């Protein structure tokens, strides 16, 4: 039955330069949320669905329906074929197009109560403890009008802890997450929820007693543990080909130009192993995963593409066509995006800064993808005094421009850290990993509440 469908896709694809593909998805999983001393919600789910998408020029049509049977696929395909003036006889078979993901037992959630007690015993200042756990198994099957077929299996586990500490009218929040692409059994074998929660709690308590951050332009050292958030948000999205082609990116038309310091090489690598959260063997259009060099020694080399943007811009397929589910159209999306490590030790980088701000952890922020202008909140930061990491400071905000920051990187560390997360774009969320070594930035405007003690 799969061969018959593939033949139909190929036949439709030959009519009027239509690109057409079939996407079949099956998944199952569990979730838990804990807050205010109790498990607030547990959930279990099974999801199955099929979609057929056609692409002609810049015009996309998608038909989707729940279920992974051949009859569901034929129904979606018939809808798309009819939109292109082709009549299709629907096949009656309900045979599955791939083996579905079977429901599986959830882990015991009882561990969260003990972790909560341990965290609250650290300090009377801790006023709130919250946890989230989610585990998912997913299998996909893809076929397209070029005659290609592909399958992939993915397993995700995520545990996050958020701890709030308060003193008087001051509130500080610490957040930490562990997310990996591992089976539930593998994840639980090495999983230490207390360590994750303790890290979040210590961050909240540290910032509770921190002094207000000085304000003004100053050198900034981004620790590797900052996790590449700035690189992802302020630079990475501007290298996605659909953003470029809509003229929303400062990197449009700049292939071959210097866009960063010569020590900066930026890659996106969906083949990264070790449980990297953004990895896959094929993307959600069936293109094999790849390692794409975006910036090499400061020079812009390419963009991240899906089928639509590759066809529109006569660009190579980078294997970055991703979608949240069978209900969504693919988009060019990052996978595991990081700056390669350099030669400087983190200690030498801090010494070079002499005086400024050491950022160990970044929180949320805002980015204008057209200009690259950004505002990021620092959730853990320290003053750099006489070339050493000094007192913790709170309330720091980084304001700058992503492309300018790339040009202003003075040193690249020999360390490398990764931060997993879920990236949102166009109403869709997909798993990603961001990474960076320690970076010395020439100067960034730092917003803080201690305006009388800014940098000279």
Q: How far from chain centre, in Å, is Cα 271? A: 15
- 3-7, 406-410, 417-421, range with the lowest pLDDT: 3-7
Question: pLDDT value at position 456?
Answer: 37
Local confidence band at 3 (pLDDT 50, 70, 90 cut-offs): confident
Decide if pLDDT at 452 tops 50. Answer: no
For β-strands 299-300 and 291-296, DSSP reports them as: antiparallel
- Give the residue from 118, 20, 4, 115 showing the smallest Cα distance to 60: 20
What's the average model confidence in pLDDT over 323-331?
97
For residues 385 and 393, the answer to whether their CB atoms sit within 8 Å is: no
d(CA 124, CA 127): 8
d(CA 87, CA 264): 54
DSSP bridge partners of 22: 52, 143
Length of the chain counted residue by residue: 456
Local confidence band at 340 (pLDDT 50, 70, 90 cut-offs): very high
What's the average model confidence in pLDDT over 236-246?
95
Local confidence band at 4 (pLDDT 50, 70, 90 cut-offs): confident
- Show the CA angle centred on residue 414, arms to residues 412 and 415, nearest 5°: 105
In 86-192, which ranges are continuous DSSP H helix?
A: 111-120, 184-190
Mind giving me the DSSP string for 393-429? Answer: EES-EEEEEHHHHHHTEEEEBS--EEEEEEEEETTEE
> What domains can you pick out in the chain, each with its CATH number?
2-209 (3.30.2290.10), 212-453 (no CATH)
Of the chain, the percentage scoring pLDDT greater than 90 comes to 83
d(CA 273, CA 412): 23
- Give the residue from 147, 174, 143 showing the smallest Cα distance to 77: 143
Mind giving me the DSSP string for 45-60? Answer: EEEEEEEEEEEETTEE
Measuring CA to CA, how many Å separate 41 from each of 71, 127, 130, 143, 395? 36, 20, 12, 38, 33
Dmax over Cα atoms in the chain, in whole Å? 77
Task: Find all residues with CB under 8 Å of 113, minimum gap 6, and list them.
Answer: none
- Show the CA angle centred on residue 32, arms to residues 39 and 195, nearest 5°: 85
206 vs 86: which has the higher pLDDT: 206
Q: What is the DSSP letter of 281?
A: S
Structure token digits, residue 423: 């990236």
Measuring CA to CA, how many Å separate 378 from each of 102, 363, 399, 421, 424? 42, 6, 11, 17, 20
Question: Helix (H, G, I), strand (E, B), or coil: what is residue 152?
Answer: strand
Q: What are phi and psi of 225, to 5 degrees?
A: -70, -10
57-87 burial code (b ≥16 CB/10 A, e <16): eeeebbbbbebbbbbbbbbbbbbbbeeeeee
**pLDDT mean across residues, the chain:** 93
What's the average model confidence in pLDDT over 104-133?
97
Decide if pLDDT at 79 tops 90. Answer: yes
Question: pLDDT value at position 88?
Answer: 82
> pTM score, two decimals?
0.93
For residues 436 and 228, the answer to whether their CB atoms sit within 8 Å is: yes
Residue 432 host element (H or E): strand 428-436
Local confidence band at 108 (pLDDT 50, 70, 90 cut-offs): very high
4 vs 423: which has the higher pLDDT: 423
What's the average model confidence in pLDDT over 183-188?
96
Decide if pLDDT at 455 tops 80. Answer: no
């Amino acid at each position: 039955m799969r061969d018959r469908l593939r033949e139909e896709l190929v036949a439709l694809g030959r009519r009027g330069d239509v690109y057409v593909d079939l996407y079949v998805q099956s998944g199952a999983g569990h979730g838990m949320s804990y807050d205010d001393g109790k498990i607030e919600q547990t959930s279990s789910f099974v999801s199955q669905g099929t979609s057929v998408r056609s692409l002609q020029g810049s015009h996309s049509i998608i038909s989707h329906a729940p279920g992974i049977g051949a009859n569901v696929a034929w129904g979606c395909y018939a809808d798309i074929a009819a939109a292109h003036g082709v009549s299709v006889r629907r096949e009656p078979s309900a045979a599955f197009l791939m083996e579905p993901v079977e429901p599986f037992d959830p882990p015991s959630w009882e561990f969260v109560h003990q972790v909560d007690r341990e965290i609250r015993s650290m300090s009377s200042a801790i006023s709130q403890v919250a946890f989230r756990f989610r585990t998912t198994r997913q299998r996909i099957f893809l076929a397209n009008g070029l005659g290609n077929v592909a399958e992939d299996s993915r397993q995700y586990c995520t545990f996050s802890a958020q701890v709030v500490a308060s003193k008087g009218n001051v509130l500080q929040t610490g957040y930490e997450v562990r997310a990996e692409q591992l089976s539930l059994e593998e994840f639980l074998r090495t999983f230490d929820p207390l360590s994750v929660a303790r890290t979040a709690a210590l961050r909240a308590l540290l910032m509770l007693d921190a002094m207000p951050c000085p304000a003004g332009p100053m050198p900034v050292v981004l620790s590797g543990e900052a996790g590449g958030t700035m690189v992802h948000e302020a630079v990475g999205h501007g290298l996605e080909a659909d953003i470029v082609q809509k003229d929303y990116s400062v990197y449009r038309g700049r292939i071959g130009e210097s866009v960063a310091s010569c020590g900066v090489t930026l890659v996106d690598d969906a083949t990264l192993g070790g449980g990297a959260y953004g990895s896959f063997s094929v993307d959600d259009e069936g293109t094999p995963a790849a390692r794409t060099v975006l910036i090499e020694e400061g020079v812009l080399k390419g963009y991240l593409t899906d089928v639509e943007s590759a066809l529109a811009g006569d660009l190579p397929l980078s294997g970055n066509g991703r979608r949240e589910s069978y209900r969504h159209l693919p988009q060019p999306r990052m996978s595991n995006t990081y700056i390669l490590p350099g030669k400087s030790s983190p200690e030498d980088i801090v010494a070079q800064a002499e005086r400024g701000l050491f950022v160990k952890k970044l929180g949320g922020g805002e980015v204008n993808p057209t200009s690259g202008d950004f505002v990021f909140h620092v959730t853990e930061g320290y003053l750099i005094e006489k070339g050493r990491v000094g007192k913790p400071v709170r309330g720091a905000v980084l304001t700058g421009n992503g492309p300018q920051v790339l040009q202003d990187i003075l040193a690249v560390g020999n360390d490398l850290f990764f931060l997993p997360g879920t990236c949102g774009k166009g109403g869709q969320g997909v798993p990603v990993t961001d990474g960076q070594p320690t970076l010395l930035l020439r100067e960034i405007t730092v917003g803080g509440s201690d305006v009388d003690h800014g940098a000279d």
